[in-house]
């Protein structure tokens, strides 16, 4: 499931319960603001002449990695996900042993 699909599922849940929806919308915005901090940090590390983030919105670099890693998983994690039978979509464990 990519980021867009995840957001669509969360938005569908939001429409079912307005109190949940408001909290969820705020959380999604927080994650998006946080991801933006990560992207700005990466740009600054690649080119120090680019200024570090001046964003004042509610955000945290640590939480920004959640959405960033969904779209850009670390190589070691991607290898595990691609190679392990548990993560294969539609795979059913063989319990005949």
3-class DSSP string for 30-49: HHHHHHHHHHHHHHHHHCCC
What does pTM read for this prediction? 0.58
User: pLDDT at position 94, please?
Assistant: 56
Give the model confidence (pLDDT) of 49-69 as tens digits.
Answer: 888 766 666 888 888 888 888
Within 10 angstroms of residue 67's Cβ, the number of other Cβ atoms is 20
């Amino acid at each position: 499931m990519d980021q867009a699909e995840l957001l669509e599922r969360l938005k569908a849940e939001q429409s079912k319960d307005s109190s949940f929806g408001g909290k969820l919308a705020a959380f999604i915005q927080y994650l998006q603001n946080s991801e933006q901090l990560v992207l700005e940090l990466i740009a600054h590390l690649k080119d120090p002449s680019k200024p570090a983030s001046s964003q004042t919105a509610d955000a945290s670099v640590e939480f920004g990695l959640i959405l960033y890693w969904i779209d850009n998983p670390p190589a070691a994690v991607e290898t595990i996900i691609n190679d392990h039978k548990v993560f294969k979509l539609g795979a059913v464990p063989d319990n005949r042993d």
